Amino acid sequence: MKKTSTRLADGRELLYYDSRDDTVRDAVDRRTLPPVDTGPRPEIRHDPLLGDAVAVAAHRQDRTYRPPAGECPLCPSREGRLSEIPAADYDVVVFENRFPSLAGDSGRCEVVSFTSDHHASFADLGEERAALVLDAWTDRTAALAGLPQVEQVFCFENRGAEIGVTLGHPHGQIYAYPFVAPRVELMLRTGAAHRERTGRNLFDDVVARELAEGERIVLTTAHWVAFVPYAAHWPYEVHLHPRRRVPDLRALDAAAREEFPGIYLELLRRFDRIFGADTPPTPYVSAWHQAPFRAAGREDFALHLELFTIRRTPGKLKFLAGSESGMSVFINDVPPEAAAARLREAASE
């Protein structure tokens, strides 16, 4: 992997990640943009009742919204159409979001473009490109861990208009939170209580149970385990764990890193098959859960990826209505065992 750092016209950082070490990246952003620090800044507010944090980012109302393919800001620049990416082609690019939810002392938001091909998806990538994306996620986790205001790094992809995606180009995001996200904080507390009660690691016990029972296992390799969790919240939800528990992406060993592209691409391709060939591509969220950098219990946390879709059947979505949105009590229409069976059936030939 070769990494090349440059700056966009408004001062934001952009990083090219290339598979070839001899790649030269010298294109200059020729746009005229105001400096990024002249507009309203995101603000973090804390809910006194729930104890969690809310980012107030009014400037995001003006962000680019579903532009036509010819005006996509993530496609390479060309004569007459300058984009966020100055180069005429690229492998993987990471850059500071022009409309961040978090910025400055409140953290940082980055965009990860997986390919220059506007009409592709992550599932269309080859293993070499998927490995390069993993390298980029890992490199950014390491870099953002060095910022004093950052407590946790969240790498994720939203795919599909049903999820709320505003750009059709295959891309993900990286959020560097200045706090521990509520869901991770809850996992840390639950894990600590489990350790106190049993003397064992909660994540290890969860994976061991799924392997022992077997009926919710979707896919396994020498270094990874993918399963539908026993109490899945979403109609089709898969958790992907490395067999050797590690706290974050930086700690994955070479063997697990080598195997990841194959198992992850297979999972994504199965997601696109579960509702049938005549159904549009499956909308999904793919989310890496990493240990916070300074939280108590970090050594007991397990890096894992959660992949889920809000589609419950062809033409029908799972909406977060009263119970889910009002009380955080999920009601799942698809039994986890049935979801796992369907995902096994959708295996590549």
Residue of 46, 59, 119, 171 with catalytic role? 171
How far are the Cα atoms of 7, 45, 190, 245, 302 from residue 201, in angstroms, in the given order?
Answer: 44, 33, 10, 10, 9
* 194 carries an active-site annotation: no
118 is known to lie in a ligand binding site: yes
Q: Is 109 assigned to a binding site?
A: no
Query: Which residue in the block uniquely carries the two structure tokens 């009014």?
Result: 58
Q: What is the C-alpha separation between 299 and 183, in angstroms, rounded?
A: 17
Q: What are phi and psi of 59, to 5 degrees?
A: -65, -15
Structure tokens of 344? 């096994």
Helices 254-271/127-145 angle, 10° precision: 120
> Is 155 annotated in some ligand binding site?
no
Distances (CA, A) of 188 to 113, 191, 250, 263: 31, 5, 19, 27
Are the CB atoms for 134 and 169 separated by under 8 Å? Answer: no
R_g over Cα of the chain = 20
Residue pair 308/234 in contact (Cβ under 8 Å)? The answer is yes
Residue with tokens 């109490």: 231
| Helix locations, 158-290, DSSP H | 182-198, 202-213, 254-271
Detail the DSSP E strand segments found in 67-138: 92-96, 108-113
| Catalytic sites, residue numbers | 171
Binding site, by residue number, is: 72, 75, 118, 169
Binding site for Zn(2+), by residue number, is: 72, 75, 118, 169
